[in-house]
Amino acid sequence: MSTLLFVILSSFLFGLLLFAIGQKSFRRITWFASLLPVSLFFYFLSYLTGTSTGEVFDSSIEWVPSLDINFDFRIDGLATLFTLLITGIGSLVFIYTIKYLKGHRHLMRFYAYLSIFMGAMLGLVTANNLITLFIFWELTSISSFFLIGFNNTDRSSRKSAITALSITGLGGLSLLAFAVLLGTLTGTYTISEMLQHPAVFSEHPYSTYLLIFLFLAAFTKSAQFPFHFWLPGAMKAPTPVSTYLHSATMVKAGIYLLLRFSPHFSMNEYFHLILLVFGGFTMLYAAFHTLFRTDLKGILAYSTIGALGIIVFLLGIGTALSITAAIVFIIVHALYKASLFLVTGTIDHQTGTRDITKLGGLRKFLLPLSIAGLLAAISSAGIPPSIGFLGKDLIYESTLHSPYSSLLTTTAVITNIFMVFAGFAVGWKPFAGQVPSTIETVKKPHFILWLAPLMLAVTGIIFGIFPGIIDHLFVTGITDQLSSGTAPHLKLWHGFTFILVLSAITIAGGLLIYKFWKISHKKERAIHRLENISPKNILLQTANYFEQFAYFLTRVFQNGYLRRYVMILLVLLTIVFGVHIFINPRIFLSLKEIRGLEISEIVVCLIMVLSILYTVFTKSRLSAIAGMGVLGYSMCFIFLFYSAPDLAMTQFSIDTLTVILFVLVLYRLPKYLKLSNSTNRIRDGIIATSFGTFLAFTIIEIMNETPLKTTTAFYAENAYELAKGKNIVNVILVDFRGFDTMIEITVLSIAAIGVFALLKLYLKKHEK
């Protein structure tokens, strides 16, 4: 069943195809682009009948079987839920954008990026192989980079895109670490098979690292504190992108990952505790922040972070009830948040501003849109009969049935009060009250621009009235799959219970804040003053320091002077040698086979020392070359003394040739000039001498060890047997290591060609 792979790849192919079609022809067929997500939506819908009863559909294509990396895909309840959200909201976004970005210069590019992003998300949620999942995960990061930075002429837009990429990229690296570690520990990369190794996730000493890597990946992607700041920045993207990324896809990838692995980690107590702490803090922090934003999308950004926090928090509670609540809330949030984003987009498109203080009374001009806004706000606030009410009920039910019920319930209530405010601030405030004097008239938008958000908002209400739909199709199946407990059945009306009281308090509190809290730029500036200690600034500052440090390091080390590079290396090596010798002094004079000095050897060494000194200190080039020649001939003698006749002969010939070479070129070469001052000379002298001294000590130390002679023994044993030769050195050169010699003569040839070319070929004037 490779259709699934094809379906997922089709989005990528489609994206590439768009690039091939070209901008001009694309404009005429923009409707055609929406066919892709719509047909994908119906394709995945066809799985629903199976997956809702717990059936799974597997599909696998070998990729790198030796490393256990394959295109394994599995469609189960969780995957279906996400694919439907991705393609369903994707369809509306695709259609909405036709009118929203009508006539944009890079419309085709936008659709191409969007298709690729959608494909990556679909791959991510259906992958059953952790490495494949990682690849799609990274693809979402990369394609979202292009989407967030779509207005590439805007500096702040580019900056936000880079911030988002670096934060999610960090998470991606961590996911890779998670994948490799987990693959090594369990011996498989197939996610469903990993369930058979429960010990790895809870008892293994490395399970802590697994948790850290997993959380780093999920929290960066799903914008949990302290990695949340890329999300408000990503609002620089065109609104359809924000809609898509933040309601249903990108940020939900982290949630998906946590959900996917929650059965694996179900026995690990830290898993739940950490999720609870981070989710709880994030939701409070973000929900509170919605009070201080004046940009509609800014409010939405923080309320998105808050919603993500709520989902993480629910996963942290870790009961069957709370997982049901999380699933329902994912649906709730996707519907109302996408709707609110699209409402914002249309307001922006028609009035040219998203500043909440400058908007009001728009219901007079944009009536259908205001209905969409109101319905979405109702769902977001959890007012019956919306699905939001259901979601909120379930949240409170989960917190009340958890160990620290009073603390968690209080946190949830406070968060939700702010979320009610945020929903109404975005969904209703622009339409309510008097039309401000700055707005004279607003053009009627194209029907798509209000129909898309209205459809989403109405769906939220329908699901609320008939909760059986999602209960039957998603919630029961997924809860059964992800937790051991049984899922509660969704009902809109539970009767007069304590939860209802809490709900009433939440709604009343939120509406009170909405009524009396005046959103103003002054308050926004006030909270901006706290920016200095925000995670964003701390991170950026750290990045800045790193950059400065890198500049400093480059200035010091890469200064363009050859000597400096050599010197740094040498000083470092000298220190290594020196430290080694001083820390670990051995007795040097314990040489086992110390040999008596013969007069001939002493004479040769003396000649060598003299020739070296002469070469170094002479002021004439010719003398230096002569010294060099004498040095080479003395080397011959050393080779001759110690049983290396081949070396002696070679050294002798090469030395002769070298001297001839130098003498031939000598008169073309510059004369010796005294270029460096005496301070430099002394400094270089000290470096050179200390290096030489330490090296000599190290050599003596090494020579105390018995060398390993296995290679030598093999060659000596087999020289005649295998290669019919008796001169072992020659046999090594032409037979045992003949390939090296082959390469060596090739290198020699290249050197000769180089010399020939340098001397014979002169560039023509115009080529210089």
| Interface positions, 661-690, toward other proteins (CB under 8 A) | 661-662, 664-665, 667-673, 675-676, 684-685, 687-689
Q: Of 560, 583, 584, 590, which lies in the binding site for other proteins, with binding defined by CB under 8 A? A: 560
Least CB distance from residue 744 to other proteins, whole Å? 6
Q: How far is CA 615 from the centre of its chain?
A: 56
Is 302 within 8 Å of 422 (Cβ atoms)?
A: yes
Chain position carrying tokens 């209802």: 500
Residues numbered 567-606 forming contacts with other proteins, rule: CB under 8 A: 567, 570, 588, 591, 594-598, 601-602, 605
Closest contact distance (angstroms) between CB of 547 and other proteins is 24
Given 147, 272, 653, 679, the residue binding other proteins (CB under 8 A): 653
The distance of closest approach from Cβ of residue 724 to other proteins in the complex, given in angstroms and rounded to an integer, is 5
What is the total count of residues that contact other proteins (CB under 8 A)? Answer: 121
Q: How far is the CB of 526 from other proteins (least distance, A)?
A: 53
- Work out which of 17, 504, 566, 603 binds other proteins, going by CB under 8 A: 566
User: Would you state the torsion angle of the CA atoms of residues 90, 92, 93, 95, taken in this order, to the nearest 10 degrees?
Assistant: 120
Instruction: Name the residue nearer to other proteins (CB basis): 3 or 600.
Output: 600
Listing DSSP states for 602-635 in one string gives HHHHHHHHHHHHHHHH-S-HHHHHHHHHHHHHHH
| Least gap, CB of 764 to other proteins (angstroms) | 14
User: Rounded to 5 degrees, what angle do the CA atoms 751, 757, 761 make?
Assistant: 170
Contact between 632 and other proteins by CB under 8 A: the answer reads yes
What token pair was written down for 615? Answer: 């070469």
- Give whichever of 498 and 756 is closer to other proteins, judged by the CB atom: 756
Based on CB atoms, which residue is closest to other proteins, 66 or 643?
Answer: 643
CB of 583 to other proteins, least distance (A): 20
Minimum Å distance from CB 549 to other proteins?
24
Cα separation of 284 and 305, whole Å? 10
Compute the distance between CA of residue 371 and CA of residue 457 in angstroms, rounded to an integer: 9
Check residue 442 for interaction with other proteins (CB under 8 A): no
User: Applying CB under 8 A, which of residues 657, 678, 766, 767 lies at the interface with other proteins?
Assistant: 657
Residue type, 201: F
Q: Select from 45, 751, 765, 766 the one that contacts other proteins (CB under 8 A).
A: 751
Q: Half-sphere exposure of 543 toward its Cβ, with a 13 Å CA cutoff?
A: 10
Residue whose entry in the numeric block shows the structure tokens 């059953």: 128
Residue with Cβ nearer other proteins (99 or 621): 621
Cα distance between residue 311 and residue 316, in whole Å: 9
What tokens does 746 get?
């090739």
Q: Does residue number 622 form part of the binding site for other proteins (CB under 8 A)?
A: no
When computed from its CA atoms, the radius of gyration of the chain, rounded to whole angstroms, is 37
Nearer residue to other proteins within complex by CB, 141 or 611: 611
Residue 650 as a binder of other proteins (CB under 8 A): the answer is yes
Q: Which is nearer to other proteins, 495 or 560 (CB)?
A: 560
Q: Which of 56, 758, 766, 767 binds other proteins (CB under 8 A)?
A: 758
- For other proteins, which residue of 20, 533, 562, 587 counts as binding (CB under 8 A)? 562
Look up tokens 């220190």; give the residue. Answer: 575
Residues 694-733 that bind other proteins (CB under 8 A): 695-696, 699-700, 702-703, 707, 709, 711-712, 715-717, 719-733
Closer residue to other proteins in complex, CB, 400/687: 687
ω before 645 within 30° of 0 (cis)?
Answer: no
Q: Which of 96, 87, 70, 172 is nearest to 125 (CA)?
A: 87
Q: Residue 531 or 744: which CB sits closer to other proteins?
A: 744
Q: How far is the CB of 741 from other proteins (least distance, A)?
A: 6
Tell me whether the omega of the peptide bond preceding residue 707 falls within 30 degrees of 0, making it cis: no
The answer to whether the beta carbons of residues 312 and 257 sit under 8 Å apart is: no
Query: Judged by CB, which is closer to other proteins: 206, or 691?
Result: 691
Angle between helices 320-351 and 77-100 (to 10 degrees): 10
Would you call 659 exposed, middle or buried from its count of C-beta atoms within 10 A (0-12, 13-18, 19+)?
Answer: middle
What does the block give as tokens for 100? Answer: 């929203």
From CA 144, how far away is CA 234, in angstroms rounded? 9
Selected from 561, 584, 590, 767, the binder of other proteins by CB under 8 A is 561
Q: Provide the 10 A C-beta neighbour count for residue 103.
A: 6
**First and final CA of the chain: distance in angstroms?**
62
Smallest separation, CB 47 to other proteins (Å): 54
- Given the structure tokens 């080390």, which residue do they identify? 557
274 lies in the site for other proteins, by CB under 8 A: no
Q: Between 3 and 676, whose beta carbon lies closer to other proteins?
A: 676
| Binding pattern for the stretch 308-327 against other proteins, x by CB under 8 A and - elsewhere | --------------------
Our CB check for other proteins shows the closer of 142 and 605 to be 605
Nearest to other proteins of 435, 638 (CB atom): 638
The answer to whether 113 and 150 are in contact (CB under 8 A) is yes
| Min separation Cβ 571 and other proteins, Å | 11
Nearer to other proteins, 550 or 752 (CB): 752
In the set 297, 760, 764, 765, which binds other proteins (CB under 8 A)?
A: 760
- Of 372 and 630, which has the nearer Cβ to other proteins? 630
Q: Taking contact as CB under 8 A, which single stretch among the options 41-49, 81-89, 98-106, 637-645 is the one that binds other proteins?
A: 637-645
Closest listed residue to residue 257, CA positions, set 275, 278, 230, 273: 275
Pairing assessment for the beta strands 57-64 and 69-75 based on DSSP bridges: antiparallel
CA distance 346 to 484: 44
Q: Quick one: 525 or 681, whose CB is closer to other proteins?
A: 681
Contact segment (CB under 8 A) with other proteins among 12-20, 97-105, 300-308, 638-646 equals 638-646
The least distance separating other proteins from the CB of residue 554, rounded to whole angstroms, comes to 15
CA–CA distance, 488 with 321 (Å, rounded to integer): 7
Q: At what angle do helices 207-221 and 155-186 cross, to 10 degrees?
A: 160
Give one word for 561, left, alpha or beta, with left for phi > 0 and alpha for psi -120 to 50.
Answer: beta
